[in-house]
Each structure stands twice: as C-alpha cells, then as structure tokens.
C-alpha cells in the first residue's frame, strides 16, 4: 500500500513541493518528463499533474493527497479537505481594473465584462455582492484582456503585482488569499490515512523549524533572571555554566517573526556573544 500524492508538474509550486518532501526525508526517483514516480524511502507514489486537474483526481480518488494552491481548491475543489497549510506560494486572487478607471466600490462591476481563469470564484463574489456582470473565461494571459478591448476588468492571481503594473492595471478587490496546502481526497482509505498521518508529522516538524531559530548567548549570572524573563522559549531555556566564573550559556528557540525585537531586549539586558542557528527539524 502506497500513499498517492499529486503535485504540479510545472510552474511555481513544483520546486517548493519537491523541496518540502525532500526536507521530510523522502527521496523521489524521477526521470525527465516522467508523470509518475516512486519514493525510495517512504511508501509513496508521486503523480505530476496539471494544477487545474488536481481537484478532480482528488475527488475521484485517483490520488489520496495533493500539494495544491488554495485558490485551485476554492475554484474547483468542493468537498476536499485541507490537512495542512504549507506556508509557501502565497498569493491573492484579486479583481483589477485599468489604472485610468476611477474605482469606488464593487458596484462598479455592475454590467461590466470581467476576464478570468476563476469563473466560479468570481461568480461567488458577484452573487454575494448582488452584482451582475458578464464573465469571459480565459486560460492564458488574463491581464491583456482590457488592453485589447475584450474586458473591462479582470480577476486573476496576484503575487508581487508587477504583472498588473506592466499591463496598466490596478488591484481593487481581494477575493481570496491563498497559499500551498496539503489537500486530502474524500475517498482516502484508513490504511492510507495512517501513512498520511506519518507524512503530516514530518511536514509539521519541517514547518515548525522554518518558523523558528535556535539561539545561544552568554549571560552574566546577576542578569540571568532578567534575560530568562525576556525569552519566549518553548518551555524554558537551557542554562549551562561557563568556564568563566559568573557567566552562563543560555540556549533557547525564538520565533523568527519576533526575533529582532527579542534580540534587542537581550542585548540591553546584558546578553553577549549571541549566536543564531537555523533549525533543520523541530519535533514538538
């Protein structure tokens, strides 16, 4: 019995999907242009699929799990559960109009032509806002539609916003914030669920490690209590005596989002020789 996972065969998700599997200790035998591959050291088969096809494969039970963008699940993946948010390939699904347009509110879309690759997502938004508009489904470069007179507005993925800028468009409404997720087929059986839980354990360890840093510092003993109070460690820091009398070595883990403010406080409290190390895996 093998866990069957689908990942995008090309594009922005492929590299990061393979990277997280590798960090989970899973080696994949994959030749060039191969559409299915086996893992050497984990009971897993990898299917390389078109991103837009993945929800159907999940719903049909052809694959058990997939690494896919939330935006694709929202558009095509009714009934598919998300086991983990993976924290990469973050983007938005947004409405955009020409820069020259004086946009005031969503009611400006009334009666307009909207070009999009996400018709279901846009229609939900319009229905919720009770706005009627004409949708033009485009699978290619959506951003060009207003420039060639095909549409008055667009809805598409926005990452940096540079593509909108190059096409003289501006973002006016965010319909959905998206990132890569681990999605689960509604038809997965119990044996494969057990394998999925093993994989989730590994993924959670990798994601925790990415969010934290291991920090070591030297602290004068008369400042030790103050320094320990500053530290937001998992439970309590490790404190070891140094060879130099009156000093201790303090070891802890700090979330990367709080890192610099904590370091500033530690320095002010008397900590010296602060070392920061990446964490490969973090098992809670």
Question: Which of the 8 DSSP states describes residue 84?
Answer: E
Question: Which of the 8 DSSP states describes residue 270?
Answer: T
The rounded distance, in Å, linking the Cα atoms of 40 and 135 is: 46
* Secondary structure class of 106 (helix, strand, coil): helix
Mean pLDDT of the 23-43 span? 85
pLDDT of residue 257: 85
Q: Work out whether strand 153-158 and strand 113-116 pair parallel, antiparallel, or are unpaired.
A: parallel
Across the strands, what pairs with 158?
92
Total residues belonging to the chain: 284
Give me the domains of the chain, ranges plus CATH numbers.
3-89+179-188 (3.40.190.10), 91-178 (3.40.190.10), 212-278 (3.30.70.120)
Structure tokens that stand for 25 in this block:
């200790």
pLDDT of residue 196: 97
Under 8 Å between Cβ of 213 and 253 = yes
Give the global pTM: 0.85
- Helix-then-strand count for the chain, H and E: 8, 16
**Tens of pLDDT, residues 70-109:** 999 999 978 899 999 999 999 999 999 999 999 999 999 9
pLDDT of residue 32: 56
Q: How far apart are the first and last CA of the chain?
A: 28
Under 8 Å between Cβ of 51 and 164 = no
* Secondary structure class of 157 (helix, strand, coil): strand
Under 8 Å between Cβ of 141 and 164 = no
Model confidence band, residue 124 (pLDDT cutoffs 50, 70, 90): very high
Structure tokens that stand for 276 in this block:
């920061």
Average pLDDT, the chain: 92
Question: Which of the 8 DSSP states describes residue 32?
Answer: T
Structure tokens that stand for 148 in this block:
């060639």
Mean pLDDT of the 248-254 span? 93
Model confidence band, residue 234 (pLDDT cutoffs 50, 70, 90): low
In b/e form, how buried is each residue of 46-79, taking b as 16+ CB within 10 angstroms? bbbbebebbbebbbeebbbbbbbbbbbbbbbbee
Model confidence band, residue 233 (pLDDT cutoffs 50, 70, 90): low
Tell me the backbone φ, ψ of residue 167, rounded to 5 degrees. Answer: -105, 20
pLDDT of residue 78: 80
Mean pLDDT of the 8-29 span? 90
The rounded distance, in Å, linking the Cα atoms of 19 and 67 is: 12
Mean pLDDT of the 259-269 span? 90
The rounded distance, in Å, linking the Cα atoms of 15 and 9 is: 10
Structure tokens that stand for 272 in this block:
């010296």
The rounded distance, in Å, linking the Cα atoms of 115 and 144 is: 9
The rounded distance, in Å, linking the Cα atoms of 158 and 68 is: 16
Q: Which residues lie below 8 Å from residue 122, measured CB to CB, with a gap of 6+?
A: 95, 114, 116, 135, 155, 175
Q: How many CB atoms lie within 10 A of CB 11?
A: 11
Percent of the chain with pLDDT over 90: 74
**Tens of pLDDT, residues 201-218:** 999 999 999 999 999 999
Mean pLDDT of the 187-208 span? 96
């Amino acid at each position: 019995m093998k866990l069957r996972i689908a990942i995008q065969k090309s594009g922005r998700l492929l590299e990061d999907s393979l990277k997280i599997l590798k960090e989970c200790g899973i080696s994949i035998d994959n030749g060039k242009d191969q559409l299915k591959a086996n893992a050497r050291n984990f009971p897993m088969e990898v299917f390389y699929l078109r991103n837009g096809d993945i929800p159907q494969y999940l719903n049909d039970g052809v694959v058990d799990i997939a690494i896919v963008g939330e935006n694709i699940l929202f558009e095509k993946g009714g009934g598919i559960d998300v086991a983990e948010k993976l924290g990469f390939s973050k983007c938005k699904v947004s409405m955009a109009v020409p820069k020259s347009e004086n946009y005031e509110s969503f009611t400006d879309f009334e009666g307009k032509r909207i070009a999009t690759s996400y018709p279901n997502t846009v229609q939900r938004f319009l229905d919720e806002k009770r706005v009627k508009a004409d949708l033009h489904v485009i699978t290619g470069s959506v951003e060009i539609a207003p420039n060639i007179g095909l549409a008055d507005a667009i809805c598409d993925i926005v990452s940096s916003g540079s593509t909108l800028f190059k096409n003289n468009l501006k973002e006016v409404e965010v319909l959905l914030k998206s990132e890569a997720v681990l999605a689960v087929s509604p038809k997965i059986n119990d044996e494969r669920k057990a394998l999925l839980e093993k994989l989730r354990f590994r993924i959670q360890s990798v994601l925790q490690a990415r969010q934290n840093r291991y920090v070591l510092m030297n602290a004068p003993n008369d400042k030790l209590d103050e320094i320990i109070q500053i530290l937001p460690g998992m439970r309590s820091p490790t404190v070891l005596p140094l060879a130099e009398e009156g000093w201790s070595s303090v070891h802890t883990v700090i979330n990367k989002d709080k890192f610099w403010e904590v370091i500033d406080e530690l320095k002010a409290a008397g900590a010296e020789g602060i070392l920061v190390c990446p964490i490969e895996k973090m098992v809670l």
